[in-house]
Chains A and B, each alone.
Chain A
Amino acid sequence: METGKIGAGKHLTRIITKAYMDLHERAANGAFVVWIAINVPAEIFLGFENVVYGVPESHAAMNAAKGVGVTQCVKAEQLGYSMDLCSYARIDIGCVSDHGKDSPSFGLPKPDLIVSNNNNCSLLTKWFDVHHRQMGVPHFLIDVPFCYQPQKEKDREYIVRQFKDLIRVIEEMSGQKFHMDRFCQAVDYSIQGVALWKKFLEFADHKPSGITAFDSFVHMAPFLILRGVPAFEEHYRLLVEETEQRIADCVFPVPEEKYRLFWDNIAPWHQLRKMSSRLAELNANIVGATYTSCIGTKEGSFDLFPFDGTDPMHFLARTQNAYICPHGLELRKQAMAGVVRKLKIDGIIFACNRSCKPYSITQMDQQKHFFNQEGIPTVMIEVDHADARKYNEENSFLRIEALLEAIDAKRAA
């Protein structure tokens, strides 16, 4: 397996570092700072002249990927927060407790407003309530109805109404005016970037795959903290061009690819390098993941959901249920079945994650469905997305190797 950063990797480091530096600098210079949940439409904030946003979940993932996740979790636990709570939340609460010490980005600048939503999980609102109380900062909660069938118009209207209320609150608090043209421009950048993101994921169609899911985990960072700006679109353009060229040059992450696997759950941030290397040694590649495939879609399908060019606010509301956790079992199965067939997946790894119960709770039924109805070997391993203490590499690989044997057995039959 080829290691080392390619051009897009270096570009990613550069733009992420710059994004955090800009965030701190603009906050220090008086910008209105908002902390948001990952899928709160960031484009709304770009409709203002001087509003910046930080994303605690993404910041927590970065801490975990850089090896300080456990350090931050322990701080929260010492404050009385249970180890059973989401590790992103523990990292973030721990990090805030000592003003960003140990964080690769020195934490996030203190917010003026906190904006959560309950579509991925309601618990996020409880987590943000911790900051709301601790810091005395207002907390705006976007309530997104969970859906069992495709999102209904009545729910969409309710979400749009809340977006408009959010804009009104920011106008009142910041004294700034919302500019529709700036907002539309931001939506446009996001749409272009997301289309390129989907193109990047399509390189997994190639055999051997042009990418690994681990690449997609790493490169989703701009989606989380840089939506709505030119750098977002530029990064994914570079990533697509570079990956295209590598495939043309026959450079593949797992050249002797024998097993094409699919991942269900949040990325195992503390294991990216280790897990991908060890899988590559087995000629196995996780070529796709629900976590990254859902970006730019709507519930029930991992295909790109295009903007029809009419109402950007409506469009953003329409995609609020896309991110796996905001919709039910049947829609999850439907979307996953489509991509599993498209990518010609040999086996599925269900990452059972105590830290993310909403992502994990349907997995036992999904596992049965994919094994019994789709005939695909599957395995369930225990992984916490950000707390390395709740992961056992040997146990996990024992199970993954059993999965590979099951795939072999199926082929031989």
Chain B
Amino acid sequence: MTSIITNLLKLRETRKKIVGCLPLYPPMEIFHSMGLVPITLWGLRDMIRSLDESDRHLQNYSCSVARRAAEFILSESGSMLDGIFAYNACDTLRNLPEILSNGLQDAGRPLPLFQIHIPMAPRSQTDAGDYFRNEIFSLIRRLEETFHISFSIDRFQDSVTKYNEVRNLYRRMENLAASGKMAFQDFMVAFRDSGFLAVEDQIRFLSGEVSRFLKKDPKQVKHPVMISGILPPPLPVIQAIGAAGLRIVCNDIASLGRFYGYSPDLNSSVEQYYVDFYENHIPCPTLLYSADNRLGYLLSLLHDTSAEGVIFVGEKFCEYEYFEFPYMEKRLKEEGIPSVLIEIAVDDEDNIAAMKNRIDAFAEAVGQNEGR
């Protein structure tokens, strides 16, 4: 049994209502503060091997994130859920709620859907603050009506503190990996094992892991590199990166660094918190308004961590990422920073020989770049 299922069963035992959130960056704290348990439905690679249910609804040229989330919800595992949340994360994910709803209806277990629209107009162009505040209030109202619960700013403050602690622990782990005290693959195992836990359990688990690895001796860093993409590559690929003499010292991965990279404090109200949360989020191709900030962010991250190259992990069929790769590669090249693109599709993790070759060739390029 995978850790995900074990964790999910533990969650179920709490008898709290579980809301399955479609990726990428749902407002987790709201759900938690209202006594619900939010889980973001990605990182399902180890749990979901077949896509039978998803394939009845989605074409095989949908990305693995959408296909696995759909499979999770439409298969038996979805019966653990009490609701689904989605926002306009991408063209696929904005269409998914109704497809899932139809599938669940057919399966005789309809679930309430909760949606908000996160404004994508650049803030310098259009002030969407009022619009977005209204979206947040509407979500809270709908949750209150559906689950007969109430929102409290004090509980929200408590949730913000807890989620910030989780993000902080992930950042500390990343630093441990960068310093060589923790292998990046150990970080990934810890990240996976902390998924689908209640936030309080996540804090306990991650704190233990941080303490454990703090005591370790750092290993020598040969060639520090960054990984960038939607999901981290599968563990065998991470191992191949290490075996090629490279160490991942920072990441621009949507489910990792982009997720935990920024955590605002709660200074005023719930709506202002999320205005800050999304406005100042780590740039991501799916947050359309952040596009102009992305290159600068990547370059500063590379500078701060002394990373010598970038491995772009292409999520097959994620056009948001693929539209940006050529530009990023070109600009990095101009800065003298080598990069490589490896593509991960649904079935690719069982066949990584070609990726290993690319990683080896990239490691050579990074090595040759060292003397420059």
Contact = CB atoms under 8 A, between A and B. Distances in A.
A125 B90 CA distance: 12
A121 B92 CA distance: 10
B95 A328 contact: yes
Given A146-B94, A165-B126, A365-B57, A122 B322 contact: no
A180 interface: no
A131 to B, nearest CB: 11
Interface string B308-321: 00000010110110
Contacts of B327: 130, 133-134
A25 to B, nearest CB: 31
B322 A81 contact: yes
Interface in A77-128: 79-82, 84-86, 89, 118, 121-123, 125-127
A80 B131 contact: no
Interface in B314-361: 314, 316-317, 319-320, 322-327, 329-330
Given A81-B326, A141-B289, A361 B59 contact: yes
28 contacts: A81-B322, A84-B61, A84-B316, A118-B288, A121-B91, A122-B120, A123-B320, A125-B120, A126-B319, A129-B323, A130-B327, A141-B288, A143-B126, A146-B94, A146-B117, A148-B98, A161-B126, A328-B95, A328-B98, A329-B102, A354-B61, A358-B92, A361-B62, A361-B91, A361-B95, A361-B96, A361-B99, A362-B98
Nearest to B121: A143
A118 B90 CA distance: 10
B346 to A, nearest CB: 14
Contact of A358 (B91, B99, B134): B91
Contact of A330 (B98, B286, B317): B98
A154 B132 CA distance: 10
A140 interface: yes
Contact of A82 (B119, B120, B288, B322): B322
Nearest to A120: B91
A155 B120 CA distance: 13
Nearest to B329: A80
Contacts of A146: 88, 94, 117
B317 A84 contact: yes
A349 B68 CA distance: 28
A357 interface: yes
B148 interface: no
Contact of B59 (A125, A133, A155, A352): A352
Nearest to B61: A354
B115 interface: yes
B264 interface: no
B322 A158 contact: no
B329 A357 contact: no
Interface in A346-377: 352, 354, 357-358, 360-365
- Size category of the A interface is 35 or more
Contacts of B322: 81-82, 84-85
Given A141-B121, A146-B94, A79 B317 contact: no
B125 A130 contact: no
Given A80-B326, A329-B99, A118 B58 contact: no
Contacts of B121: 141-143, 162
B319 A364 contact: no
A85 B115 CA distance: 27
Contacts of A125: 120, 288, 291
A325 B95 CA distance: 9
B288 A364 contact: no
Contacts of A358: 91-92, 95
A239 to B, nearest CB: 33
B266 to A, nearest CB: 26
A9 interface: no
A161 to B, nearest CB: 6
B215 interface: no
Which 10 residue pairs spanning A and B have beta carbons closest together? A80-B326, A126-B323, A143-B121, A358-B91, A329-B98, A145-B117, A143-B120, A328-B98, A82-B322, A146-B94
Contact of B88 (A145, A158, A352, A362): A145
Contact of B320 (A122, A143, A165, A325): A122
B91 A123 contact: yes
A60 B364 CA distance: 40
A79 B326 contact: yes
B48 to A, nearest CB: 19
A35 to B, nearest CB: 16
Given A358-B95, A361-B99, A141 B323 contact: no
Contacts of B35: none
Nearest to B323: A126
A141 B97 contact: no
A250 interface: no
B59 A148 contact: no
Contacts of A143: 119-121, 126, 128, 288
A169 interface: yes
Contacts of B92: 357-358, 361
B303 interface: no
Contacts of B125: 140-141, 162, 165, 169
Given A85-B323, A361-B59, 4 more contacts: A84-B61, A126-B324, A143-B121, A162-B121
B99 A362 contact: yes
Contacts of A129: 291, 323-324
B283 interface: no
Interface in A214-263: none
B134 A84 contact: no
B285 interface: yes
Contacts of A141: 120-122, 125, 288-289
Contacts of B320: 122-123, 126
A46 to B, nearest CB: 22
A155 B95 CA distance: 18
Contacts of A357: 59, 61-62, 91-92, 317, 319
A194 B285 CA distance: 36
Nearest to B285: A126
B15 interface: no
Contacts of A133: 327
Contact of A365 (B62, B102, B134): B102
Given A80-B329, A122-B91, A122-B120, A154 B61 contact: no
B311 to A, nearest CB: 16
B372 interface: no
